[in-house]
Structures are given as structure tokens and as C-alpha cells.
Amino acid sequence: MQITVTVPENKAEAFLELVKELGYKSKLKTSKTKEPKLLKELRQSWKEVQMHERGEIELKTLDQVLNEL
């Protein structure tokens, strides 16, 4: 039998330890809602850095970014 349990991230390690002590097998799956968005943003940022290095785009300076705040 397979059972799916959702556990808060801060309790996951303790929960998995309890499952192990009881002699059951466990399989950890992380939330997939946050990870892809972060990876997508990192990939986009990396592409922009590469384009800037090739001279294809101009990035804002730190002063320009701070002035927007």
C-alpha cells in the first residue's frame, strides 16, 4: 500500500526519521511549485548575462537600479 502525506518543510526531517524508526520505507518529494519558477528565473538571468557579455544587450548599472528604489 502507498500513502501520500504532506508535511511542512521544517518538520520533514523529523517525520522521515520517525517513519524510518518504525521500519517503514519513505520517499521524499519536494514541492515542485517553487523550484521550476526559481530555475526559470535563474536561466533567464544567466541568458541575459551571456547576452551582455556578447554585447547584444545593455544591463542597468547598480546606480540605475538604486535610483529606481
Check residue 53 and give its pLDDT. 94
Residue 17 confidence (pLDDT) = 87
Instruction: Work out whether the CA dihedral 49, 55, 61, 65 comes out positive or negative.
Output: negative
pLDDT string in tens for the chain (69-residue length): 788 888 888 888 888 888 888 988 887 776 656 667 888 889 899 999 999 999 999 999 999 999 998
- Which pLDDT score is estimated for 56? 94
- pLDDT of 34: 60
- Distance from C-alpha of 45 to C-alpha of 51, rounded to nearest angstrom: 10
Q: Domain residues of the chain, as ranges?
A: 1-29, 31-69
